[in-house]
Amino acid sequence: MNTLSATGRPSGLSASDVVERVAAGQVNRTHDVASRGLWDILRGNLFTLFNAMLGTALVLVLVVGAWRDAVFGGVIISNTLIGAITELRAKRALDRLAILDRGRLRVLRDGRRTEVELEEIVLDDLVLLSTGDQVPADGRVLDSTGLELDESMLTGESDPVSKPAGAELYSGAAVVAGSGLYRVTKVGADGYAQRITAEAKRFSLVGSELRDGINRILVIISWIIVPMALLLFWSQLRAEGGAAASFADGTWRDAVVQAVAGIVGMVPEGLVLLTSINFALAALILARRSVLVQELPAVEVLARVDVLCLDKTGTITDGSIALDAIVPIGPGDPAELGRIRAVLAGIAGDPEANPTARAMAPALEDVAPAALRVLVPFSSARKWSSAFDGETTWYFGAPEVLVAGLEDAGEVVADVRERAAAGARVLLLARAPGQVREPGGDLRPVALAAMRERVRPDAAETLRYFERQGVRVKVLSGDNPRTVAAIATSVGLEADGGVDARTLTAESTAAMLRDHHVFGRVSPEQKRQFVHALQADGHTVAMTGDGVNDALALKDADLGIAMGSGAAATKAVARLVLVDGRFSELPGVVAQGRRVIANMERVAALFLAKTTYAVLLALTVALVSWPYPFLPRHLTIVGTLTIGTPAFLLALAPNTRRYRPGFLGRVLKLAIPCGVVAAAAVLAVYGTLHLRGSEAQASTAATLTLVLIGLWLLGALARPLTPYRMAVVAAMTLGAAGALLISPIRHFFALEIPTPGAALLVLVAAVIGCALVEVIYRWRERRARPGGVSSGAPTGARTDAGTGSGRREWR
């Protein structure tokens, strides 16, 4: 137990006490699992529904020896690697999560000062603190000599907090002034910082409408694919002369390959891979702009965000304060002002000055500091300090304390209140003749020093950008509501004086969030509650911050965004990290999110139309016992020219279209009817030529019909046809012509030059099919944009992302 030495001072734990506590597990270490293990990550990305479907098809193709038709297996490997590598990066960030510094600490044991590691501290240890130390574990102060802590990373309040004897200390706070001795009352996982760490480390995936929509499609296909595969295989055996004959002469292998061709055609494998590649490309582009994407779908989410929550410190402001103005009280002649500046420079230059006084130094670099001898050091308890220059005692501190006993201080107090209401932190410089330790009746106020938090130069324009985009901004800060409101007003936000979050109840929070934008005295738990309340109100919420107090809110937000200068805990749980802390990079992130989701919507219809016609073709040929119309090579050329290559090229193009909810519904309204049209056209052409006994001509005609209808759908989805998109469509059309006209390519893909009758049949079917696709496309566009707005034009106001130009086009 803690005992007193012969001098009456605490001597700390004895060696046997420490051994007992270590044996009891009462030490300052934790054994929590930071994140999913390597095997869990690999297993989660390898054993997916998508990989199961394609993997089974791949095994079947390899078993029958059709190596040339197994190329689709590369999609499994690529998609697995992209997902696993991305998650491993997130895991490394989570594993590095640390709120507490790992330096050595000083404790009292057996009456002697001893240095120990953070993990060696035990329950009831007596820990010595001095300026620059970080509190290693929760506890209670036993002795304080002007001890002041910066708890902003824990509570969000930027002002230092005085800690007299008996005050509670929380792990993670930093000592900014004074010294003290405290007893540890909580260690390890019970500590405040460790509780936040453990909760923040819980693994979770960011919500992605693209990923969720694709997964829903895969679930539906999984219910169809097994019975369809068996039915298709059985029909191909019948088409080869029956099961007995097929197994006798080995043609069952051809039936397997054709069945696999039908199955693979149903799975939108390119869509899954292209989504991963598109996310990865966006992450690389953002990395060049010093934006770290810790989970790939995060680039999509900011395009959907409609509420952005900001912690004032670190986002609107850079977390530091500076001298904004020196306001002389009285005549303020040049000589007097020069002396005032010299005294303030001397106070700021004192090695023992508190952080607020030191913050004046950059603005006074050109001033020769006055020679001062500190009489009374600053403390939060007194709220003032004093120094002597040989003639005069100078007092510097809180105005309301220093002028409390003066009769004619009314104007000073009024001026202080006015400046404080405008967001300034106001300190008073006063003087008294001679050397006087305590302020008395002869005190004379000389000047006010107005300090102000540094507002980021990019904050106002970035906030205006989000306003133009229809994103509501909420400022959630631990500071005084009036101060927060003043700073918010300075960057163009509607503050209404600010709301004191301490007055809110669980019932009133949601209503206040709907009507107000600036909140002060918000606790870390409340920030989390605010995020939940906004989400319950139907909003997609992004949260930015830099302190530990923001970590849990960032974790639960739809998109957490951390500043690069923030705490390790905050950066580890965030989905995006602004490495250079430039708030102005957010519009660029929005631009990448819009490009991804708008372009993926554009190309998803190509893949899902393929899934639709693949299912219909497989079902029809199985029921009528026709050979499957295509070899896997035919589907390769169809997929390359009308889906895969153009989809990749279109997905990379710039696109600033505003996000619109309902991605999957809009895609299916186009893909399913267009897929039905394509299947009907192919069956009409193939069936006619197959019944005439011309199998090679039937497959060629079916392939050409599908290519022509696919190219028309591609052209529709590429609208409005910019030069880049026109070039993509033209290149694919030329590729189709080359595949038919160039002899080696034609033979490789098992095609023939169509006969005049087959060519006429293809032309008629393609014209009808393309006309129906055009009708369906225009109908879908009218339904999506009432009033006949043209394809590709966003609904509502559009501002080119990342430009900050403010140019709006109203539709």
658 CB neighbour count, 10 Å cutoff: 17
Can you tell me the distance from the alpha carbon of 263 to that of 332, in angstroms, rounded to the nearest whole number?
87
Asked if 322 and 362 count as a contact pair (C-beta separation under 8 A), the reply is yes
Q: 207, exposed or middle or buried, with CB in 10 Å at 0-12, 13-18, 19+?
A: middle
Residue carrying the six token digits 């993670």: 172
Can you tell me the distance from the alpha carbon of 296 to that of 226, in angstroms, rounded to the nearest whole number?
31
Can you tell me the distance from the alpha carbon of 450 to that of 794, in angstroms, rounded to the nearest whole number?
47
Structural tokens at position 419: 């400046």
Neighbouring residues of 19: CB distance < 8 A, sequence distance ≥ 6: none
State the number of CA atoms in the 13 A half-sphere of 615 facing the CB: 22
Neighbouring residues of 37: CB distance < 8 A, sequence distance ≥ 6: none
67 CB neighbour count, 10 Å cutoff: 9
Asked if 312 and 487 count as a contact pair (C-beta separation under 8 A), the reply is yes
- Residue among 689, 461, 479 nearest 584 (CA): 461
CA-CA distances (angstroms) from residue 800 to 307, 469, 498, 654, 803? 19, 10, 32, 10, 6
Asked if 505 and 474 count as a contact pair (C-beta separation under 8 A), the reply is no
Q: Residue 3's beta-bridge partner residues?
A: 12
Q: What string of DSSP letters covers 228-272?
A: HHHHHHHHHHHHTT-HHHHHHHTTHHHHHHHHHHHHHHHS-HHHH
Check whether the bond before 720 is cis (ω within 30° of 0): yes
**Phi (first) and psi of residue 237, to 5 degrees:** -65, -45
Can you tell me the distance from the alpha carbon of 516 to that of 15, in angstroms, rounded to the nearest whole number?
57
Neighbouring residues of 224: CB distance < 8 A, sequence distance ≥ 6: 266, 615
Annotated catalytic residue, options 311, 550, 556, 558: 311
Asked if 619 and 228 count as a contact pair (C-beta separation under 8 A), the reply is yes
Can you tell me the distance from the alpha carbon of 720 to that of 728, in angstroms, rounded to the nearest whole number?
13
Please, what is the angle between helix 632-639 and helix 252-266, to 10°? 20
- Residue among 679, 698, 677 nearest 688 (CA): 698
**Phi (first) and psi of residue 328, to 5 degrees:** -60, 145
- Residue among 470, 399, 394 nearest 431 (CA): 394
Asked if 203 and 241 count as a contact pair (C-beta separation under 8 A), the reply is no
Q: Residue 177's beta-bridge partner residues?
A: 148
311 in catalytic set: yes
**Phi (first) and psi of residue 374, to 5 degrees:** -65, 125
Can you tell me the distance from the alpha carbon of 578 to that of 57, in angstroms, rounded to the nearest whole number?
43
- Residues 567-602, buried b or exposed e (16+ Cβ, 10 A)? bbbbbbbbbbbbbebbbbbbbbbbbbbbbbbbbbbb
Can you tell me the distance from the alpha carbon of 437 to that of 435, in angstroms, rounded to the nearest whole number?
7
Residue carrying the six token digits 């003066």: 406
With H, G, I as helix, E, B as strand and everything else as coil, classify residue 1: coil
Amino acid, single-letter form, for residue 379: S
Catalytic residues: 311
